Structure 1
């Protein structure tokens, strides 16, 4: 039995569409084992208990590349800490868990970097898979079919607060609302701000984060799908947030505050309650190791 823990992730950070992601200390845990025959699921909604289950598909992908034939599988979710379809990487968590577990069953044929590439083949973009696999804040790209990444060291002095709505947003719907083309002006706008964001985290100059969080690729379009987005976003800045961005495809808004801001949490919770906005407010810390095997035996 192999027990795998995978962190929540926040991708598309501000202007870093499909390229910047970060891992947080909100976890899914899975127990996966090879059995004599069949396919058994536990702790998973009935609609996902079939061969189209994304954990199972990731395992089959890994087994195929490793030339390993499993007899049967038991897949159990023992902790669902990452909310589903909230822009916090629930699907990437499943993919990464499946790959890591399958690799362990297949006697570790692949390195973590190789598993990362397989995961991006499935996911289609690397900014959720990279932090889920490796932890921390990550810059990730695809070059000629190969996925590449580099970690960003975040200077102390900043805290992350996730504002998580009580409704789901389909990633497919959030993708379909985006324009198919952008202008040169929009490209330059985002390139500069993505570079500024990495610089802010690397140097600790958090006064500039507000400007670094702006983008012209996705947030303005996707925010229209999220009730109360503008009100919560603007109120966060009023309460002293140094930066806000849409997490993944949404609907979660990720806010950043300075560590000495003691009033933000009280203020935002009071605002949400007074306006009947049913969102969870979650304090988050950056996860460092990424996906880990907590215990396992082949």
Structure 2
């Protein structure tokens, strides 16, 4: 059995802790055989456990404590601690592992609820499970989500060669904002979502860049964000935003502008990887 989970990008600017898209980079988990003890074969570095302390197995055992130990193979092209849902993909993979090996027969809705409660918010886990574009809420213990088709475009990921932990990125956010500011921030997010649903990426991209919830506070941690936005506007991409907690910045681009964007981004004075991705429409897959 093989399980494939897509990378994800959360927030899309003003859709803070609520909106996310699934992307064409993947975590792959292969169940090889039953063993006496859990073991994961991977080449993801010594920081990633190879035994049952791995988040993948810990998540699976939360749902099904009596699972027979397995030998697993794990490969991933989702960069760690870059704002592309690496930890969420592991949590989602662990839920699916328990679902299949433990015959839990979980519905998609149940998987989203479980993953959200483990992760703390749904913006990454929901699109990893459902695919495409998902808007979700987690309020007073209740999870609600809606999946919708994201309009056709290229997604250019500018991935700096530095880690930015979510905890560090969250530490710069304020404890509260004014009622007036919250209303403005909410209205921007609402228009962005409506524009995506309407297939209007120029308007959606404009709204992505007007976020009031988090990006202004995180800018000092991601000095390349404004530079990428300047390039995006010059070339005619739809918009750029901080992916999750960063430091990755995503550019939503018309296909015909992508080569120019990649060339210009490659000239920025930072060490970074630039990937041209697409929207993953399926979410988690089991083969």
Normalised TM-score (structure 1): 0.89
> Offset at 1:10?
0.2
Following superposition, the deviation at residue 125 of structure 1 comes to 0.2
Residue 196 (structure 1) shift: 1.2
Equivalent of residue 260 in structure 1, options 251, 256, 259: 256
- For the 8 Å contact 1:245–1:253, the answer to whether it is kept is yes
Deviation at 1:195, TM superposition (A): 1.2
Matching residue of 1:22 = 21
For residues 253-289 of structure 1, the C-alpha deviation after alignment (integer angstroms, 9 at most, x for no partner) is: 11112233255335424533xx3x2222211111011
Which residue in the other structure is 2:92 paired with? 96
| Matched-pair contact (CA < 8 Å) for 1:233–1:253 | no
Task: State the distance in 1 between where 2:193 and 2:61 align.
Answer: 36
1:166 corresponds in structure 2 to 161
Work out the CA distance in 1 between the residues paired with 2:205 and 2:22: 20
**Aligned equivalent of 1:41:** 40
The residue aligned with 1:112 is: 108
1:222-261 equivalent positions in 2, closer than 5 A: 222-261=218-257
**C-alpha displacement of 1:201:** 1.5
Cα shift at 1:207: 2.7
Distance 1:119 1:26 in 2: 20
Aligned to 2:56: 55
Residue matched to 1:31: 30
Shift of 1:60: 1.1
Q: 1:12 to 1:262 in 2, by over 3 A?
A: closer
Report if the CA contact (8 A) 2:156-2:258 is conserved: no
User: Quick one: distance in 1 between partners of 2:169 and 2:204?
Assistant: 25
Contact 2:172/2:218, CA 8 A, preserved across alignment: yes
Q: Which residue of 1 aligns with 2:120?
A: 124
CA distance in 1, matches of 2:261, 2:206: 22
Q: Please, what is the CA RMSD of the aligned residues?
A: 1.8
How many angstroms does 1:51 deviate by? 4.0
How far the C-alpha of 1:35 sits from its partner, in A, is 2.4
How is 1:76-225 mapped onto 2 (pairs within 5 angstroms)?
76-77=73-74, 79-156=75-152, 158-213=153-208, 214-225=210-221
CA contact (8 A) 1:62 1:118 kept: no
Which of 271, 276, 283 is matched with 1:283 structurally? 276
Unaligned stretches of 5+ residues in structure 1: none
Deviations 1:182-208 (A, max 9, x none): 111221122111111112212222332
Distance 1:98 1:192, change over 3 A: same
Please report the TM-score for the alignment, with normalisation by the length of structure 2: 0.92
Is there any run of 5+ residues in structure 2 with no aligned partner, and where? none
Deviates most, 32-41 or 166-175 = 32-41
Alpha-carbon distance, 1:220 to partner: 1.2
Aligned pair count reads 284
Matched, 1:73 2:66: no
